[in-house]
Amino acid sequence: MDPGLLVEGIGLQEGWVVADIGCGDGFYSIPLARKAGNHGTVYALDADMSALVSLRENIRKAGVSEDRFRLIHGDALSTGIPSAELDLVFIANMFHDIEEKGEFLKEIKRILKPSGLLVDIDWQKTVTPFGPPPGIRIGQDEAERMFTSAGLEEVRRIEPGPYHYGLIYRKTGKRMDEGKDHGDRGHES
């Protein structure tokens, strides 16, 4: 999967403020920053400090201005990003790791601007030559149900590669359906 090509196809506009939650070493953060341009900002959040150290080095190697990034060592459930700050939240290959999915989706809605976008790139729930065990993956249908229950509306689906699915959802004025199960159960490792 070419991260630059994928980022080109998600609707990100120059000047946007974006978050890459679970950014790791910047596989997507750097292409997101390039696409957002000189007036854009990427909040790159990860719970692993060593990933952020690697990201900082990769930003330098890529020749992208570090001023376009806000590196955050933190928790995806409580990002510290101001409310209604973001045009787009990008998550890749990490939704299955979130134990409190309903709380995570509330945080995403809090930090997104009205009509802001959520892009989820994740593993198909099938056996693949690499990646997490299929039993802990979130299938596309299940992710769609969780996003809809959280008050997000589908914009479109994208094809990121043979082992992944891609979903783009928009924040709406709808509130989360508090009475439904939002998949807040942990997973078995």
Name the pairing type of β-strands 152-158 and 86-92.
unpaired
Cα–Cα dist 104/69, whole Å: 22
Is residue 113 classed as helix, strand or coil in its secondary structure?
Answer: strand
Q: 178 CB contacts (<8 Å, ≥6 apart)?
A: none
Q: Taking a C-beta distance cutoff of 8 angstroms, is the pair 18, 32 a contact?
A: yes
**Per-residue pLDDT for 19 more than 70?**
yes
0.85 cut: is pTM over it? yes
How confident is the model over 86-139, as pLDDT tens digits?
999 999 999 999 999 999 999 999 999 999 999 999 999 999 999 999 999 999
**Domains observed in the chain:** 3-171 (3.40.50.150)
Average per-residue pLDDT for the chain: 92
Strand partners of residue 122: 165
